[in-house]
């Protein structure tokens, strides 16, 4: 199955777009025919539309995906936090809210508050009781505990399919 990656630079401010990159197609002999160029244009347009959807609705993943989330805090004024000097290990880095695409009344959203948290989607699905065919969205929100002088960034989101 095709691999989809979301790369660095997503700032959680409600307006930043999520950038999605897919593996490019290999061309024989480096030549492109008109149909291939048209396909590329259509694919690029579709990717832009998908970026808009992802930015608005979060990242939709399926149960067979492995999701790796890495966050860090960037201080405008390094001394303003006054918690400690270990910014990269800060436990207040952010919260991750995982909700089903079609939520059931018996399923509650699951929130993580950790600075460098790796989660396996299959484990999350099991814990939430979501049927694997439902799919679900990962919403990334800034932690309310983080000082206003800090900016929360999502460094990378990788969706790896087996």
| Per-residue pLDDT tens over the stretch 24-57 | 444 455 555 677 888 888 887 777 655 554 444 4
Res 42: pLDDT: 82
Q: How many helices (H) and strands (E) does the chain have?
A: 2, 10
Residue 129 near residue 106 (C-beta atoms within 8 A): yes
What is the pLDDT of the chain when averaged over all its residues? 44
Q: Greater confidence, 162 or 48? A: 48
Joined together, the tokens standing for residue 100 give 């089903």
Radius of gyration in angstroms for the set of CA atoms belonging to the chain, rounded to a whole number = 18
What's the pTM value of the predicted model, to 2 decimals? Answer: 0.21
Neighbours of 61 (CB within 10 A): 22
Neighbours of 125 (CB within 10 A): 22
CA dist 144 and 89 (Å) reads 17
Average pLDDT over residues 57-73: 40
């Amino acid at each position: 199955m095709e691999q989809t990656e979301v790369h660095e630079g997503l700032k959680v401010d409600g307006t930043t777009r999520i950038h999605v990159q897919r593996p490019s197609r290999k061309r024989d002999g480096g030549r492109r025919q008109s149909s291939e160029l048209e396909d590329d244009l259509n694919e690029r347009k579709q990717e832009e539309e998908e970026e808009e959807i992802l930015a608005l609705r979060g990242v939709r993943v399926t149960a067979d995906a492995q999701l790796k989330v890495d966050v860090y805090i960037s201080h405008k004024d390094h001394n303003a936090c006054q918690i400690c000097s270990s910014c990269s290990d800060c436990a207040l880095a952010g919260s991750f809210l995982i909700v089903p695409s079609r939520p059931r009344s018996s399923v509650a959203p699951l929130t993580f508050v950790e600075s460098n948290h790796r989660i396996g989607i299959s484990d999350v699905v099991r814990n939430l009781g979501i049927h694997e065919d439902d799919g679900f969205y990962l919403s990334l929100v800034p932690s309310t505990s983080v000082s206003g002088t800090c900016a929360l960034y999502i460094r990378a989101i990788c969706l790896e399919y087996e």
